[in-house]
Structure 1
Amino acid sequence: MGPQTFRAEGPVVVTGEKRDRQPNRTRPGNKKNARPDAAPAAPGLAARMAAARLLAATIDAKTSLDGLTDHEHGHPQFRALDMRDRSLVRAILATALRYRVTIGKLIARRLEKPLPANATVLSHILHVAAAQILFLDIPDSAAVDLAVTHAKSDPRTVRFSGLVNGVLRALARAKAAELPVMLAETDDAPEWFVERLTAAYGAAQAKEILAAHRLEAPVDFTVKSDPAKWAEQLGGVVLPTGSVRIEKLSGAVSDLPGFAEGAWWVQDAAAALPARLFGDIAGKRVADLCAAPGGKTAQLALAGAKVTAVEASKNRLARLAANLDRLGLDAEKVNADLLAYEPVEKFDAVLLDAPCSSTGTVRRHPDVLWTKSPADIAKLADVQRKLLDGAVLLVKPGGRIVFSNCSLDPQEGEALVAGFLRDHAGKVELDPVRADEVAGIAEFVTAEGFLRTTPAGLHLGNPAISGLDGFFAARFKRLA
């Protein structure tokens, strides 16, 4: 959609107040005229206000977007919206986060001076509107008008309503010329992440990963049997690894064919790989540690293993149980802290898909890069190492351990494993993954025998259905 035409209204300045052309403007703190808590009168305003509030919670308070937009337990301002407006809010937020750096730079070009450091509310209002103007199929005039109304409704931003108006109108006029150039010049990620990604993967692959992060992830299904049949039923394709992929959902997952009868479950193709690294596990006792929501538990049970699913969260374990019930699969379910868990008998194999920074899932969770930090990665790597040390003790001598996570960072993968093998020399050895042992994984097996997928992998000719979550997996054998 092309830019809307607006009349120029003079230069835009950061101070805003002296340029505010609105008569009888409300001063900060004037509660008589400024009522941010009053019910929004303009159609669509409630959704935009919710989007700005949730963007603030994500950026400023480092809160998970999934938690904020949960339909049952999410932010009250989100839950107060109808389902259509909730979908709009999620689209705005995903876009604002996915293109945060690009949006920020294009806004900055419209300002004579940077926004004050404490003008976070104003910044979020501008980002929410700019995301609509630049990337979403929403009329520019509506995005501008609602942003101005929003600014006027809040005593913290009322004096900047003229600035909001001028910046967004100028942005709408310039987007056709400036947006493609800015996208080509910008990495939409924090500097620390770009630096770590480049150090780990090299400049060329890092650029490919960052480009993939701008695209919404496709939807993958692990099917119980007959992938070709379900690819046809769901309108998708069968991947080389056996998963079924569709470009995007057009409705609720529960409305899709095969859901009610438990024929499949949603699981990224990369996330489906670690459970397959055990080989033939029919009849073997296998523990799935940190098991919820249960996709890997289901895979192990489907392969004929006697599965014990261990999960520290009662709520997450209940969700796992519900998922297994729908699928008609069975597993022993144990609510326990992994580090304190002592089974009566050791297992033949253990899968530890450990909690991590989730930097491999940015395509579907664009908030990750803005809620995590290098300090979080270091902290989570330490937790993973402790869990892996404990997981080894649960396996019989000669048994296999598969360690995995959805991080792109070597501190949570290759470096962690190197330290683990060094400290467990003589007790545990690496059991290298072979390129030919699982269909479709050859390009993901490293020289060391690790499994490493990235969003830049699995080229299928169409970027919208290509790529994978970033996953790391290593396999070990317990010696004694």
Structure 2
Amino acid sequence: MVLTAADSKKNPKQPPHRHPASDGKPQATPFADKPGLDVRIAATKILAAVVDKKTPLDGMLDAGHGNPAYRALSDADRGLLRAILNTTLRHLPRIEKSLSMMLDTPLPEGARALQHVLTTAAAQILYLDIPAHAAVDLAVEQAHRDPRNRRFAKLVNALLRRMVREREEILAASEAISPVPGWFYSRLVKSYGEDEARRIAEAQLSPAPIDLTVKADAAVWAERLNARLLPTGSLRLASFEGSIPSVDGFNEGAWWVQDAAACLPAQLFGDLKGKRIADLCAAPGGKTAQLAALGADVIAVEQSANRSVRLQENLARLDLSADIVQCDLFDYQPEELLDGVLLDAPCSSTGTTRRHPDVLWTKSAKDIEKLAELQGRMLRHALTLVKPSGIVVFSNCSLDPLEGEELVAKLLSENPMIERMPVAKQDWPGLEDAINAAGEFRTTPAMLQPQDGYAGGMDGFFACVLRRSEAG
């Protein structure tokens, strides 16, 4: 059966459901007569903001200051909304291709609201453990209640019911389609080759597990938490339900949540006891905490006042200390040159798509170019802050060599007073494949295989060690 997106006869425009408020003014009501409809309406609104307006998802899903449609939901409904959005974004190219193949003509120009209704419903039917009839019924109802989509309600019903019937065939056919946007996949292929690019793209379909960095006694805490001790020194929880503060050791400040790859840069300094180290992009404080736990005298530089407060709160819970300096990174000048600097620079975050699938829909190749230029300026400034023979560890969570390998190679070619200090593979058993020929760390979400029921994968990360020459 081929479905058509041709205009059907418009239904008479119906007013939205309203009820009189206490002040006599009409107010929109929650859709109490259709449980779950509020969640679906919120999902399509927020998806539109991500895909069409390039709005990051985290801010919209903030409990205190996020999107009003999100904040109006109960905690349970917020969880369902996040599941729908994350699943839709992870599989969006496959969903859109499947929908387009079921139509004889594309949806009309400007029918983006309808497209978002269909894609969020399709995500539920194809990839989530949600009753198919509920996904179809609520999508049809959503179309009925939106004047822009009302005339397409029958189309929505027919198309989604067909998707339910042909679900297995659609899933099998969609496996040939890359689950990431074309612009990003082409860059992966150029950087990693076709086979590895496919593995990285497929890896982002799985949500990231929870990794912990412990202050001390990792093996003891691994047994206590029934966690896997990773080659990075991190602990990986087998599964997790509930809140992080309820996990054993949280209240006593024994650990903090940090992806396995993110814990690597701070470890690249070697012995830090008594060393003065600045963490230049410090909040929320995971790497600052690592440096302090390893014995460094840490200066945590953070521009944002709110993030500085959060940083202080996190350090207080962990019973660790750092000198927090709130200022622009480029304005920071220590009274005396430092032993080392950690620059975990703002980047495109393309290595974090397992936990932030919106990144690939809010960023572009131009963003990567702009961010690489900014990182280059930050790194050049960071190198002026260390004494001769001082160390700068540069890192970010991008998968793109323009923000990593190529950026560092360009810097080294420009400045003979800077040298790369290669990371030795033998010092990192189990992570040999994550160290490139130049001695830089390059992790991807496809690394770190599952083991004994524990999930695999880690964030895509780049990290390298640079040293200022003695004459510098």
- Scaled by the length of structure 1, the TM-score of the pair is 0.93
The answer for the alignment partner of 1:472 in structure 2 is: 462
The answer for the alignment partner of 1:454 in structure 2 is: 444
How is 1:310-389 mapped onto 2 (pairs within 5 angstroms)?
Answer: 310-389=301-380
SS of the aligned residue for 2:35 comes to coil
Equivalent in 421, 446, 454 of residue 431 of structure 1:
421
Q: Deviations over 1:414-449 (max 9, x none)?
A: 110011111211x21111111133454322111111
- Could you tell which deviates more after superposition, 170-179 or 431-440? 431-440
Letter in 2 for 1:326: R
**1:17 aligned to 2:8?**
yes
The answer for the alignment partner of 2:114 in structure 1 is: 122
Letter in 2 for 1:457: M
**Alpha-carbon separation, structure 2, partners of 1:37 and 1:374:** 41
The answer for the alignment partner of 1:70 in structure 2 is: 62
CA contact (8 A) 2:228 2:454 kept: no
**1:186 aligned to 2:177?**
yes
**Alpha-carbon separation, structure 2, partners of 1:250 and 1:350:** 37
Evaluate the alpha carbon distance shift between residue 235 and residue 461 of structure 1 in structure 2; reply closer, same or farther with a 3 A threshold: closer
**Alpha-carbon separation, structure 2, partners of 1:468 and 1:13:** 43
How is 1:199-238 mapped onto 2 (pairs within 5 angstroms)?
Answer: 199-238=190-229
CA contact (8 A) 1:16 1:161 kept: no
The answer for the alignment partner of 2:104 in structure 1 is: 112
Q: Deviations over 1:271-315 (max 9, x none)?
A: 000100000010110000111110000000000000000011111
The answer for the alignment partner of 1:250 in structure 2 is: 241
Letter in 1 for 2:364: S
**1:445 aligned to 2:435?**
yes
Aligned length: 461
Equivalent in 149, 156, 164 of residue 156 of structure 2:
164
SS of the aligned residue for 1:102 comes to helix
Evaluate the alpha carbon distance shift between residue 299 and residue 177 of structure 1 in structure 2; reply closer, same or farther with a 3 A threshold: same
Q: Deviations over 1:360-387 (max 9, x none)?
A: 0011111111110000000100110010
CA contact (8 A) 2:379 2:394 kept: yes
CA contact (8 A) 1:102 1:188 kept: yes
Letter in 1 for 2:447: G
Evaluate the alpha carbon distance shift between residue 329 and residue 440 of structure 1 in structure 2; reply closer, same or farther with a 3 A threshold: farther
Q: CA deviation at 1:11?
A: 5.1
Letter in 1 for 2:420: L
Q: CA deviation at 1:229?
A: 2.6
Letter in 1 for 2:361: W
**Alpha-carbon separation, structure 2, partners of 1:16 and 1:248:** 48
Letter in 1 for 2:158: G
Equivalent in 127, 130, 136 of residue 138 of structure 1:
130
Letter in 2 for 1:125: V
Letter in 1 for 2:316: D
Q: CA deviation at 1:230?
A: 2.0
Q: CA deviation at 1:26?
A: 3.6
**Alpha-carbon separation, structure 1, partners of 2:453 and 2:225:** 19
SS of the aligned residue for 1:273 comes to helix
The answer for the alignment partner of 2:81 in structure 1 is: 89
CA contact (8 A) 2:231 2:428 kept: no
Letter in 1 for 2:370: K
Evaluate the alpha carbon distance shift between residue 251 and residue 90 of structure 1 in structure 2; reply closer, same or farther with a 3 A threshold: same
Equivalent in 2, 11, 15 of residue 32 of structure 1:
15
**Alpha-carbon separation, structure 1, partners of 2:382 and 2:183:** 32
Quick one: percent identity of the two aligned structures? 51
Q: CA deviation at 1:72?
A: 1.4
**1:47 aligned to 2:47?**
no
Q: Deviations over 1:387-426 (max 9, x none)?
A: 001101110111100000000000000110011111211x
SS of the aligned residue for 1:208 comes to helix
SS of the aligned residue for 2:342 comes to strand
Evaluate the alpha carbon distance shift between residue 37 and residue 187 of structure 1 in structure 2; reply closer, same or farther with a 3 A threshold: farther
CA contact (8 A) 1:223 1:263 kept: yes
CA contact (8 A) 1:432 1:450 kept: yes
The answer for the alignment partner of 1:264 in structure 2 is: 255
Equivalent in 87, 93, 103 of residue 95 of structure 2:
103
The answer for the alignment partner of 1:292 in structure 2 is: 283
**Alpha-carbon separation, structure 1, partners of 2:302 and 2:166:** 52
**Alpha-carbon separation, structure 1, partners of 2:270 and 2:434:** 17
CA contact (8 A) 2:236 2:454 kept: no
Q: Deviations over 1:165-196 (max 9, x none)?
A: 1111011110022212312x010111111110
**Alpha-carbon separation, structure 2, partners of 1:261 and 1:285:** 27
Q: CA deviation at 1:247?
A: 4.0
Equivalent in 246, 269, 280 of residue 271 of structure 2:
280
Q: CA deviation at 1:39?
A: 2.6
Letter in 2 for 1:419: K
Evaluate the alpha carbon distance shift between residue 82 and residue 140 of structure 1 in structure 2; reply closer, same or farther with a 3 A threshold: same
SS of the aligned residue for 2:262 comes to coil
SS of the aligned residue for 1:436 comes to helix
**Alpha-carbon separation, structure 1, partners of 2:247 and 2:84:** 25
**Alpha-carbon separation, structure 2, partners of 1:233 and 1:164:** 51
Which blocks of at least 5 consecutive residues in structure 1 are unaligned?
A: 1-9, 19-24
Equivalent in 53, 66, 77 of residue 61 of structure 1:
53
Q: CA deviation at 1:116?
A: 2.1
Letter in 1 for 2:15: K
SS of the aligned residue for 1:271 comes to helix
**Alpha-carbon separation, structure 2, partners of 1:465 and 1:67:** 27
Which blocks of at least 5 consecutive residues in structure 2 are unaligned?
A: 19-26
CA RMSD of aligned residues (A): 1.6
The answer for the alignment partner of 2:413 in structure 1 is: 422
